Structure 1
């Protein structure tokens, strides 16, 4: 037997939970209500939120952020206890104040919305939703289940993400919102709903907690006191709220599908826009041609008259658009291929002439080209007063011909192509006599005629007079 001072503890049940005084709760509610109204008036106009939708999300974004932060200790206890809801501590000082703040947000949103953004307050998601949650939060506070509501307050995180995306569209991420919504308001909601349906996890009502406290303070044996069965009300409330979350998530998925469809239609329209413009230009040119054709007095057979009429009719233009899709795209693709073909064909012809056609060029053509370039030496030779300024003509006349010098040039490993190239080069260079003959420096002439300059040469040991 136990003495009257001994206490029987039931794991998972916090029988000594004491809510904050009513004055503190009232102060928290009023201060939160006024603070939210002040936040709205601070950020509504100067921040540049001009649309009614953005203005309506100011208070909701701030409230969802605060509720998400307030839920962190309770979520920590839940995961630290490996998913055991009985391990979540009550924290009445924090839980009750957070619940009062949420009530103040609900009333502030309805009050401000009725004045400033009435078009954004829907009957179901606005008035009914806020009034319904006012009753749920008040019921949780009176039943000392404020910690249960704070544990579920982590579901406000997707609301904060959506609010940030609405206020700052550049930060919008549909995928992040959808993932956070599924993890909190779908998956986590289902898990804790099932957990609170289990008899061992149901929280105690105030009447059951008072009875348990009376039993544990009296003298009873351990076997005489059975573990109490808590209330099923939290599980029922979570079940009633889940269809609304599921419908919102379904709408999110429909939004993804709709945006994907619009994206495909936009891409299709952008692809066909170019072809439509080109076809309009083509149709206009066809119409002008038909008008010009009609203005000329040409006698045509009777069988071709219906065809001429049909070619200028709007129906023909419409059928033409259907029969020639993507005309401009095909034209650009053809021009690109034609330019590449021209480029490579010119390169092929260049290398073919360079490597294959080199042997076909005879020495006569090279000599002709060389003789055509010799007149360019005329201005230089005209500036010379006489060939006597040269050191000696014997040095110039004793130069070996390039043709004979090439005979001394040897290739390492001579291939047929190299032999062909060597032969062509040897045949291309003019001989010494050809150079003399072109310049007019004949050995048996008494007068040298160089580029139009007539001079008398001196006697040289290597040249003889006539």
Structure 2
């Protein structure tokens, strides 16, 4: 984890200094420079959450489930499907029925940890972002760092992510990393104002920060959610 953290720090500081001293240099770009790391981190977090969200929201055999839906639709509409194609669809639908027999929608038990391939690198990257934003902000854009969303928020989440990693809950945090989508929308708007979209921010905020947030909290509250691997019945 320490190597991942150091590598993340190196990457983030390099990107910031390159952009801050080229396309975003000058006093008129101070606010944009303060959003470089935040936008980068929000993009990485959102993109990395996709495989975890797939586990949470989609059945194990997606293609087989699609085959079953096609068969059901053809039966309802009396659509003519060639015999050889129907045979393949039936075979895939049967395989999907077996694979998805115990699958539950929005169950934390369905999330694959991906501990060393995604979870640890992602959490290390986010902790590195929090540290980098505080350090660079204190030096290069102190007027853009406020107490609540800057110092308090970043310090708190450094401890949160460290604790979640210690407890083996990093994959849950990685699933919730999609909460950074509205931050990415806002960051892009700051870096390149023509892409500003109030509607995009509002929709992404309510889907992720409100809807999905409530869903994950509820999934954590359920008995099966608390008995999921890594959580093992714990409330804290």
TM-score range, shorter chain: 0.7 to 0.9
Q: Who is 2:171 aligned against?
A: 147
Q: Who is 2:122 aligned against?
A: 98
Q: Who is 1:29 aligned against?
A: 5
Q: Who is 1:86 aligned against?
A: 109
Aligned length: 188
User: Is residue 39–residue 184 contact of structure 2 (8 Å, CA) maintained in 1?
Assistant: yes
After superposition, residues 423-442 of structure 1 pair within 5 angstroms as: none
Q: Who is 2:16 aligned against?
A: 40
Displacement after TM superposition at 1:199 (Å): 2.0
In structure 1, runs of 5+ residues without a counterpart are 1-24, 210-228, 234-466
Q: Who is 2:32 aligned against?
A: 54
Alpha-carbon distance in structure 1 between the residues aligned to 2:217 and 2:192: 34
Answering whether residue 234 of structure 2 is matched by residue 231 of structure 1, we say: yes
* TM-superposition CA deviations, 1:421-447 (whole Å, max 9, x none): xxxxxxxxxxxxxxxxxxxxxxxxxxx
User: Is residue 143–residue 205 contact of structure 1 (8 Å, CA) maintained in 2?
Assistant: no
State which structure, 1 or 2, has the greater radius of gyration over its C-alpha atoms. 1
User: Is residue 130–residue 154 contact of structure 2 (8 Å, CA) maintained in 1?
Assistant: yes
* TM-superposition CA deviations, 1:239-291 (whole Å, max 9, x none): xxxxxxxxxxxxxxxxxxxxxxxxxxxxxxxxxxxxxxxxxxxxxxxxxxxxx
Q: Who is 2:146 aligned against?
A: 122
Answering whether residue 202 of structure 2 is matched by residue 199 of structure 1, we say: no
Displacement after TM superposition at 1:42 (Å): 0.8
Out of 46, 62, 65, which is 1:68 matched to?
Answer: 46
Displacement after TM superposition at 1:163 (Å): 0.4
In structure 2, runs of 5+ residues without a counterpart are 60-104
* TM-superposition CA deviations, 1:225-246 (whole Å, max 9, x none): xxxx61122xxxxxxxxxxxxx
Q: TM-score, normalised by structure 2?
A: 0.76
Q: Which has a greater percent of helix?
A: 2
Which stretch shifts more, 45-54 or 70-79?
Answer: 45-54
Alpha-carbon distance in structure 2 between the residues aligned to 1:167 and 1:203: 43
Q: Who is 2:198 aligned against?
A: 174
Q: TM-score, normalised by structure 1?
A: 0.39
Displacement after TM superposition at 1:203 (Å): 5.0
Alpha-carbon distance in structure 1 between the residues aligned to 2:228 and 2:107: 16
The higher relative CO (CA closer than 8 Å, separation ≥ 6) is in 2
Alpha-carbon distance in structure 1 between the residues aligned to 2:11 and 2:196: 27
